[in-house]
Amino acid sequence: MRIATITNWAYGATVCLTLASGIIMILASNADTAERQAVKQRQQFDQITEDIEADAWMLSDLARLFVIKKDPSILEEYRQKEGSMKSIEVRLEKLKDTGASNEELLLLGEGLKIVDELQDEQQAALARMARGDEQQAVALLYGSAYELELERAQREIDHFRQLLDKRVITDVQVATKTSKTLRTASEIMVGLTALLFLFVLGFILKRRVLRPVVRLSDVVHRLASQDYAVETPNFNQIDEIGDMAQAIHIFRENGLARQRLERERDADWAIRELLARMTQRLQGCESFDDVLNVATLFAPNIAPGLSGRLYILDRTPSRMRCVAEWLDPQGASTPFDPEDCWAIRRGQSHPPVNGEPDVVCYHLPESVAHQALCIPLIAQGEAIGLLSIQNILPENAPSRAYLELMAEALGLALANQRLRHELQEKALYDPLTGLRNRHHLDDMLRSQISLAQRTSTPISCLMIDIDHFKKINDKYGHEAGDAVIKRVASIIQRTIGDEGKAFRYGGEEFLVLLAGMDDEAAYECASQIYNEVKMSTVRSGISEIATVDVSIGIATYPQHVQSDSLIRASDVALYRAKELGRARIVSFGMLGEG
């Protein structure tokens, strides 16, 4: 029941009890008034009966005194008193008006009749006195019959008084009892009113209002400070407190929803900032390794809890090769055919949004196939890689848009690195031979010399020139000349392997840096190159080119020259080999001996 209803009922009950108490108090006051009226009536009756009794005895005494003393003044006084006495009817009417009952009036009337009879006897005695019969008059007023009549009149009056006293006492007792009962009832009503008031204060105000309001006030204070973790009290009663509790509960739920949305918004902004930062870092990458490092660093933070792999498409042979992974994805990272991935086939992320049921990619393990997402890395309309994400569940799946943006950024970065690599290949490597060109030589020479100085190891330089190359071009054509250059370059590269760095220094000239080799080891390597070139056969179309020879000059640091003169010294040795007739090997150390 609502507090307002309870309060209204309590207010109504209080008003009713107050009115009832007032009415009872009025009734009790009336009972007191009746009691006072009964006492007053008794006093009035006593006064009237006393007057009647006094008048009767006074007339009797005056008459007796006159017959004894024969004093005319006494007779005169008797006449005056007799004239002033009222008749029986007047006296009884006065008693009736005062409230005497018929029984009481009848009893008193009998006494008054006796008094009247006594007055008649008094008149007879006075008449005899007037006739001179004094003795008879005295005998009449002092006789036993007269005394008996006086006593009988006195008994009737006394009986009337007794009856009147009994009735008055009864009326007073009844009025007193009624007044006491009504006052007790009034006190009970007042007590009930007080109890009801205490009930309203204790039960409604304290228990139903004060305690819940104090609890709700604490909750509201904490909610105002955005502490939405506070538990709202569970007041299920259907009243104002229940309405307030329900409203506070709804406010808390709205606050929790708002906090959840704010957290999601903050997480969303954090992911956007990570994507922006990753994109900026990718723009600064200078190699594929830089791109892979950025991917493995940012991917677990952009997609928390989601493991994944990054694949690159190799063109020859055509296969998807895993180059990076994070958070321990399931399954082996072995290469697979691009056709095994539906995302590569479709050129779109797979499976699509709300795409269940759908076919799964064949390269995925069966245990995660239905919890995976494949996003192709597209650049210039061509798939160059794949981003494979695992463990995607409804409760931890980030927005697909962010994953696709990450894939787009990685695709562009990888495409840029591929283009960068191709440009570097064209800028640093000779397209005909595949060897490094002179643009790469200065940096390589500085790094090799620096390493040799730090490790106190030697470094040798071979300067190689194809003998009579112009005659080959003139006789067999430029295609044949190119074939000769490619053949010599392949022999040089195969001979030095990973122990040296080969460069195409000029048209038909080559330069080789041999780190860690002294003059003797370098001479042995040069001899191997010289012999293999001399024994090789070069064809141009159906024509077989005659034997190809090379001249080689050798210089070694620090055995022969300082670091900044290494190439020049090897070139001097080569020039000396040509002076000596070509097709030979000359070391810079041999020049001093000659």
Torsion sign (Cα): 423, 429, 433, 435: negative
C-alpha span between 184 and 190 (Å, rounded): 10
- Lookup: tokens for 303: 């997609």
Category of 582 on φ-ψ map: left (φ > 0), alpha (ψ -120 to 50) or beta? left
C-alpha span between 536 and 487 (Å, rounded): 8
- Is omega for the bond preceding 329 within 30 degrees of 0, making it cis? no
Strand order of the sheet with strand 319-326?
319-326, 308-314, 382-389, 373-379
Termini Cα distance of the chain: 125
Sheet strands (E) in 206-268 = none
C-alpha span between 46 and 34 (Å, rounded): 18
C-alpha span between 358 and 370 (Å, rounded): 9
C-alpha span between 101 and 170 (Å, rounded): 14
Buried b (16+ CB within 10 A) or exposed e, 14-36: beebeebbeebbebbeebbebbe
DSSP for 178-190 reads: HHHHHHHHHHHHH
- Is omega for the bond preceding 338 within 30 degrees of 0, making it cis? no
CA distances in angstroms from 488 to 527, 529, 567, listed in the order given = 14, 9, 20
C-alpha span between 139 and 583 (Å, rounded): 213
- Lookup: tokens for 455: 């490790």
Question: What residues does 320 pair with on adjacent strands?
Answer: 313, 336
- Lookup: tokens for 363: 């390269």
Cα–Cα nearest to 208, from 247, 227, 173, 235: 235
Which 3-state string (H, E, C) describes 490-543? HHHHHHHCCCEEEEECCCCEEEEEEECCCHHHHHHHHHHHHHHHHHCCEEECCE
Pairing of strands 585-587, 550-557: parallel
C-alpha span between 207 and 155 (Å, rounded): 74
Do residues 378 and 304 make contact, with C-beta atoms less than 8 angstroms apart?
Answer: no
Residue from 35, 156, 325, 508 carrying the catalytic annotation = 508
For residue 234, give the DSSP letter: -
CA distances in angstroms from 302 to 259, 275, 399, 407, 410, listed in the order given = 21, 7, 10, 11, 13
C-alpha span between 479 and 477 (Å, rounded): 6
CA distances in angstroms from 134 to 71, 73, 149, 276, listed in the order given = 13, 17, 21, 158
Q: 508 catalytic, yes or no?
A: yes
Which are the catalytic amino acids?
508
